[in-house]
Amino acid sequence: MSNDEHLSEYVTAGIGGQMFGLPILSVQDVFVPDRLTRVPLSQPEIAGVLNLRGRILTLIDMRRRLGLEGKSSDGQAMAIGVESRGESYGLLVDSVGEVLKLDDRARENSPINLDPRLARVCAGIHRLEGQLLVVLDVDRILDLGPASMAA
Amino acid sequence: MDDLLQEFVTETHESLDVVDVELVRFEQEPNNKKILDNIFRLVHTIKGTCGFLSLPRLEALAHAAETLMGKFRDGAPATGEAVTLILATIDRIKDILQALESDQREPDGTDSDLISELERVVKQIAQPASASAAPPSQTVGILTPQVLERPLRPGEVSLDELERAFRETEVDPSVAARLGTPAKPAPRETAHNAPAKDDESKSGGSQSIRVTVDTLEQLMTMVSELVLTRNQLLEIVRRHEDSEFKGPLQRLSNVTAELQEGVMKTRMQPIGNAWQKLPRIVRDLANELGKEIDLEMHGAETELDRQVLDLIKDPLTHMVRNSADHGLESSADRQAAGKPTRGRIRLSAYHEGGQIVIEISDDGRGLNTSRIKAKAVAQGLVSSEEAEKLSEAQIHKFIFAPGFSTAAQVTNVSGRGVGMDVVRNNIDQIGGTIDVRSVAGMGASFTIKIPLTLAIVSALIVEAGGDRFAIPQLSVMELVRARGNSDNRIERIKSTAVLRLRDKLLPLVRLTKVLGLEPADAGARDDGFIVVVQVGTQTFGIVVDGVFHTEEIVVKPMSSKLRNIPVFSGNTILGDGSVIMIIDPNGIAQSIGSTVSSQLAAANETNVTREVAGSRTTSLLVFRAGSTQTKAVPLGLITRLEEIDARKIELSNGRHMVQYRNHLMPLIRMSEDVRVKGEGAQPLLVFSDGVRSIALVVDEIVDIVEERLDIQVASENSGIIGSAVIRGHATEIIDVGHFLPAAFEDWFRSKDRPTAGRIKSVLLIDDSPFFRDMLTPVLQAAGYEVMSLGAARDALALLKAGRRFDIVITDIDMPEMDGFEFAEAMRREPSLKNTPIIALSSIVSPEALERGQQVGFHDYVAKFDRQGLIAALKEQAEVGQAA
């Protein structure tokens, strides 16, 4: 048997200078967010809603979600479309990179001293040449927890 | 599941629902053979099919019930006991069907209890039945002899008899329509019964097919998409003026609209579907409670969206139960009250302007006002003092308050703590409103208004804080443009922004503020558009930055991540492709806090009652100035409420002045005790008579109340008309007229009071409530007894009825009947021709004066000339005395 059964494909994305990977099976599409409508009184992680080919998507600001500070890069922000429980979401990231094929056996558990906001959505870490790739769990990203209504 | 079985279950459910309704009808009209035949036929069909599908339990039950009904057909009286038993059997059949549906087989168990009971009743009534044996029911037409291959089972009917039953039974189309079940194949007309009637063939089964709800939902979603795409195309074409797309797009647009309408129609169901269980429920209740109840249903064919229908089904049932349990009295009580022993519950439904109106009324005892009041006080919804001031209608509204239920005793039927508040909640959810009217001893009536559909609504697109939002048009009453200098200006009572709109004060809420879009340092801006919306009984204004247009929007459910935000009810895609949020006026109403709005709502409501009842309550502004004692002035007299920066107040010639709208406005202190503030905000009451304005300096504005202005103690002090009890406190009523001359020396001043003696009565006619409010206290203070009316016609009727006044004061410009016509009409009455008439007018032209002379006005006074009026009155009163 080949190694293929141990290989997973990841869509890589840069968020706040860090490289992240999303399992390709959970990614619907990658698009440039256009005409974003902000939603007053929503949780801070929610960047807004937008129309993608007739569907209304909720866009999650991944910087906020992961607690990564800093201004977004100058380049055009990108969004990765995902689906969960019949609803469509977009994950707002700084950039989208290539698709990587990585061996599951090389995946390591996240270090215990990882930032708790990051640790909650992290499904493991791959050591790549020169940098780390943090594997994200889509369901956990979308679990924003109980809404704390300010109003 | 086996298709055949599925079909059977669905069909049998429908048949049973019809049987339910028909049985109750039959009990009331035991002699109506048609109904009985119909029931008989339905049950027989069920039995037959059961045998075919080998469902022994169902077959046995249906058979036993059929046997009993056969006895009725043979002329046995339909006793309540027997009907109850059959209903119980039908319930059992339903239970078995349910199990059949889920397990695909008949559940184990035995029905010998019911069957033996049914057989017992059959035996019991067998005697009279056999007495009138072999009923020679007349049939028209030729009977085809039928051959039976096996002997009849006990109680079974022969095919001949069955055939006859079928032929004689006409399917009652109203029942089928009411229940909205796809009409069953009409009893096949045998050839010799031809020609078939048109309407009968129309109700034939081939005219309708069964479609699953899912298919319809899917269709609706697709049409919604189509509507969106159409909107997008329209938007594009709007940008390109001379486009060749225009024509075809117009057609596409029309077709889309028609398609949308058609698909909506498939979702429409008659409201009777939600009612079909009610006759049975009411019957059972009547038995249980020992009452006699008639249930009337009108407009059952009125259609509405099935989504809406599902949501109102339970509230309606609940309300009918309520009426039967709490509303209607026992037969004995009704007799004692001189009412017919049979109570009546009436349900009606009809369309009205894009809404469906449902009324549920009973002729019972009405709502128990004192108990509701006591409970409202006990629950802290209102203080006991406040409760005393509330009108009955206002008290009745407390039944919709959360957690409110009036059943003192928890009965099996209703009053388990879930009451009208739950009903209201359900109705609120679908954007509906509910209201109640009740007259003690006469009954109560609930009116529910709900939108026809929820999927596609017309919405007003507005802008706030740079973003666009949609407000459903249904709740929008009107749009008002607010400008800093116009009459439609945003005013403030303390910190609450209000808009004075045609004699009503509306609380205002700025959309940007509710949505948290306002920067922290945003000042109070006084311009913008005000969207006046109504939620339940509450009316308020939403201030937005801009208004675009209305658009048909397709409501899409919000992401689960956003559903916690109460001010949004959904989102939608606009024609230009962007997503916008749909505002939920209910959510906004909640977020503005209840105190102010409900106070104002209460004040406004009394206002309405006042107009209707004609009782003389007045809106009063209560404030403090100089002392802790409260003072009040009729709200109608005040032009504006202002709060100015105290540093802007200047001292000129020993008097306080402020620059106000390019004029110097004098500030008046009511007494030496009132202090003009040196810093901070100085509240002022501004009075204008058109050109001139003065401002009364006050310490604090306390409240706006609606009270009967009943001056109990006249005052010695100038400037105070007297004292009245307002909200339980002695309050001084200010004589505004006194302070006007204090500011302007040229303001004519006199101390005219009518000479001592009998108090003169004055009839004041003016169509403007403002002037009535303004003049009434002035005249009262001058010592006259005042009656004010809004229409000359009413006044004439009153005078013709024999009511006499010493002097009549009438406005000239009035709708319907103006002052001239009124005077002429009065002069034609011999008994009235000597009553002096003083005319009021804002226009005093020589022509008007001349005409006034002709019609017999005794005097002519300009509308704002308060002192002139007092003088004229005095003159006329003295003339009258001399005469």
pLDDT tens digits, residue range B253-311? 889 888 888 887 787 888 888 888 888 888 888 888 888 888 889 988 888 888 788 88
Render B150-218 in DSSP notation, one character per residue. SPPPTTPPPHHHHHHHHHHPPP-HHHHHHHTPPPPPPPPPPGGGPSPPHHHHHTSGGG-----HHHHHH
Q: Which of A35, A39, A84 has the most B C-beta neighbours within 10 Å, making it the best mutation to test the interface with B?
A: A39
Q: What is the 3-state secondary structure (H, E, C) of B777-792?
A: HHHHHCCCEEEEECCH
Tokens 């001139």 appear where? B692
Question: What mean pLDDT do residues A143-149 have?
Answer: 60
Is residue B749's pLDDT more than 50?
no
Contact B573 A38 (CB under 8 A): no
Residues of A whose CB is below 8 A from B545 = none
Is residue A123's pLDDT more than 80?
yes
Rounded mean pLDDT of chain B? Answer: 74
Question: What mean pLDDT do residues B333-353 have?
Answer: 85
Contact A38 B579 (CB under 8 A): no
Distance in Å from the first CA to the final CA of chain A: 58
Q: What is the pLDDT of residues A74-99, one digit of tens each?
A: 567 899 999 887 789 999 999 999 99
User: What confidence tier does B332 reach under pLDDT thresholds 50, 70, 90?
Assistant: confident
The residue ranges of DSSP E strands in A1-151, in sequence order, are: 7-15, 18-23, 27-31, 46-52, 55-61, 78-84, 87-93, 95-103, 122-127, 132-136
Check CB contact of B571 with chain A, cutoff 8 Å.
yes
Q: Identify the H or E element spanning B621.
A: strand B617-624
Given this model, what pLDDT does residue B73 score?
A: 75
Count contacts between A and B (CB, < 8 Å): 70
Q: Which of B229, B462, B513, B561 has the most A C-beta neighbours within 10 Å, making it the best mutation to test the interface with A?
A: B561
Check CB contact of B580 with chain A, cutoff 8 Å.
yes
Q: d(Cα B22, Cα B19) in Å, to the nearest integer?
A: 5
Residue B53 neighbours by CB under 8 Å, 6+ apart: B4, B5, B8
Per the CB < 8 A criterion, the answer to whether B658 and B695 are in contact is yes
Selecting from A40, A56, A89 the residue whose C-beta is nearest the C-beta of B573 gives: A56
Q: How far is A75 from chain B (nearest CA, A)?
A: 23
Selecting from B228, B565, B578 the residue whose C-beta is nearest the C-beta of A37 gives: B578
Tokens 């040449």 appear where? A129
Question: Chain B residue closest to A35 (CA)?
Answer: B578
Please tell me which residue, B305 or A71, carries the higher pLDDT value: B305
Contact B565 A51 (CB under 8 A): no
Per the CB < 8 A criterion, the answer to whether B455 and B307 are in contact is yes
- Chain A residues bordering chain B (beta-carbon distance below 8 Å): 35, 37-43, 46, 49-51, 54, 56, 58, 85, 87, 89, 142, 144, 147, 149-151
Selecting from A37, A38, A58 the residue whose C-beta is nearest the C-beta of B561 gives: A58
Q: Which of A35, A42, A64, A83 has the most B C-beta neighbours within 10 Å, making it the best mutation to test the interface with B?
A: A42
- Percentage of chain B beyond pLDDT 90 is 3
Q: How far is A40 from chain B (nearest CA, A)?
A: 6
Q: What is the pLDDT of residues B820-860, one digit of tens each?
A: 888 888 888 888 878 888 888 765 566 777 777 777 788 87
CA-wise closest residue to B694 among B716, B722, B661: B661
Residue A36 neighbours by CB under 8 Å, 6+ apart: A47, A48, A49, A50, A59
Per the CB < 8 A criterion, the answer to whether A21 and A110 are in contact is no
Q: How far is B683 from chain A (nearest CA, A)?
A: 30
Render B732-763 in DSSP notation, one character per residue. EEE-HHHHHHHH-TTS------PPSSSPPEEE
User: What confidence tier does B205 reach under pLDDT thresholds 50, 70, 90?
Assistant: very low
Given this model, what pLDDT does residue B158 score?
A: 58
Contact A54 B573 (CB under 8 A): yes
Question: What mean pLDDT do residues B209-220 have?
Answer: 81
Selecting from B228, B560, B562 the residue whose C-beta is nearest the C-beta of A54 gives: B228
Question: What mean pLDDT do residues B427-438 have?
Answer: 78
Per the CB < 8 A criterion, the answer to whether B184 and B169 are in contact is no
Given this model, what pLDDT does residue B471 score?
A: 93
Q: d(Cα B516, Cα B513) in Å, to the nearest integer?
A: 5
Contact A149 B515 (CB under 8 A): no
Question: What mean pLDDT do residues B171-191 have?
Answer: 43
Other C-beta atoms closer than 10 Å to the C-beta of B816 total 11
Residues of A whose CB is below 8 A from B567 = 40-41, 151
Is residue A141's pLDDT more than 50?
yes
CA-wise closest residue to B71 among B29, B114, B118: B118
Tokens of B716: 């010695």
Q: d(Cα B570, Cα B589) in Å, to the nearest integer?
A: 17
Given this model, what pLDDT does residue B603 score?
A: 44
Tokens 């202005």 appear where? B709
Given this model, what pLDDT does residue B134 score?
A: 42
Question: Chain B residue closest to A34 (CA)?
Answer: B578
Q: d(Cα B15, Cα B13) in Å, to the nearest integer?
A: 5
Question: What mean pLDDT do residues B347-365 have?
Answer: 83
Given this model, what pLDDT does residue B598 score?
A: 43
Is residue B442's pLDDT more than 80?
yes
Contact B565 A39 (CB under 8 A): yes
Given this model, what pLDDT does residue B230 score?
A: 84
Tokens of B344: 């009546």
Residues of B whose CB is below 8 A from A41 = 515-516, 565, 567
For residue B387, give the 3-state DSSP assignment.
Answer: helix
Is residue B610's pLDDT more than 50?
no
Check CB contact of B222 with chain A, cutoff 8 Å.
no
Is residue B601's pLDDT more than 70?
no
Q: Which of B231, B559, B588 has the most A C-beta neighbours within 10 Å, making it the best mutation to test the interface with A?
A: B559
Please tell me which residue, B77 or B205, carries the higher pLDDT value: B77
Q: How far is A19 from chain B (nearest CA, A)?
A: 26
Q: d(Cα B445, Cα B322) in Å, to the nearest integer?
A: 12
- Percentage of chain B beyond pLDDT 70 is 74
Residue ranges of alpha helices (H) inside B240-305 are: 246-267, 272-275, 278-289
Per the CB < 8 A criterion, the answer to whether B509 and B540 are in contact is yes
Is residue B751's pLDDT more than 70?
no
Question: What mean pLDDT do residues B461-470 have?
Answer: 91
Contact B571 A43 (CB under 8 A): no
Q: How far is A42 from chain B (nearest CA, A)?
A: 6
Q: d(Cα B800, Cα A36) in Å, to the nearest integer?
A: 70
Is residue B188's pLDDT more than 80?
no
Residue B326 DSSP symbol: I
Tokens of B729: 């406190």
* Helices and strands of chain A, counted as H and E runs: 3, 10
Q: d(Cα B552, Cα B228) in Å, to the nearest integer?
A: 9
Please tell me which residue, B195 or B389, carries the higher pLDDT value: B389
Selecting from A42, A51, A142 the residue whose C-beta is nearest the C-beta of B573 gives: A51
Contact B580 A35 (CB under 8 A): no
Contact A35 B564 (CB under 8 A): no
Selecting from A37, A89, A147 the residue whose C-beta is nearest the C-beta of B467 gives: A37
Contact B467 A50 (CB under 8 A): no
Check CB contact of B301 with chain A, cutoff 8 Å.
no
Given this model, what pLDDT does residue B178 score?
A: 45
Is residue A9's pLDDT more than 90?
yes
Q: How far is B457 from chain A (nearest CA, A)?
A: 18
Residue B80 neighbours by CB under 8 Å, 6+ apart: B27, B287
Residues of A whose CB is below 8 A from B577 = 35, 51
Q: How far is A74 from chain B (nearest CA, A)?
A: 24
Selecting from A41, A50, A144 the residue whose C-beta is nearest the C-beta of B516 gives: A41
Q: Identify the H or E element spanning B659.
A: strand B655-660
Check CB contact of B517 with chain A, cutoff 8 Å.
yes
Is residue B202's pLDDT more than 60?
no
Contact B516 A151 (CB under 8 A): yes
Selecting from B467, B564, B573 the residue whose C-beta is nearest the C-beta of A147 gives: B564
Question: What mean pLDDT do residues B611-625 have?
Answer: 60
Per the CB < 8 A criterion, the answer to whether B44 and B66 are in contact is yes
Q: d(Cα B491, Cα B497) in Å, to the nearest integer?
A: 6
Contact A49 B571 (CB under 8 A): yes
Residues of A whose CB is below 8 A from B562 = 39, 42, 46, 49, 58
Per the CB < 8 A criterion, the answer to whether A100 and A9 are in contact is yes
Question: What mean pLDDT do residues B322-329 have?
Answer: 84
Peptide bond preceding B836 in cis form (omega within 30 of 0): no
Please tell me which residue, B411 or B442, carries the higher pLDDT value: B442
User: What confidence tier does A57 reach under pLDDT thresholds 50, 70, 90?
Assistant: very high
Given this model, what pLDDT does residue B714 score?
A: 61
Contact B467 A54 (CB under 8 A): no
Q: How far is A6 from chain B (nearest CA, A)?
A: 35
Residues of B whose CB is below 8 A from A87 = 559-560
Exposure of A57 by Cβ count < 10 A (0-12 exposed, 13-18 middle, 19+ buried)? buried
Question: What mean pLDDT do residues B793-814 have?
Answer: 83
Is residue B614's pLDDT more than 50?
no
Q: What are phi and psi of B711, to 5 degrees?
A: -75, 115
Question: Chain B residue closest to A89 (CA)?
Answer: B559
Given this model, what pLDDT does residue B605 score?
A: 41
Question: Chain A residue closest to B592 (CA)?
Answer: A151
Selecting from A49, A50, A149 the residue whose C-beta is nearest the C-beta of B564 gives: A149
Selecting from A41, A49, A87 the residue whose C-beta is nearest the C-beta of B560 gives: A87
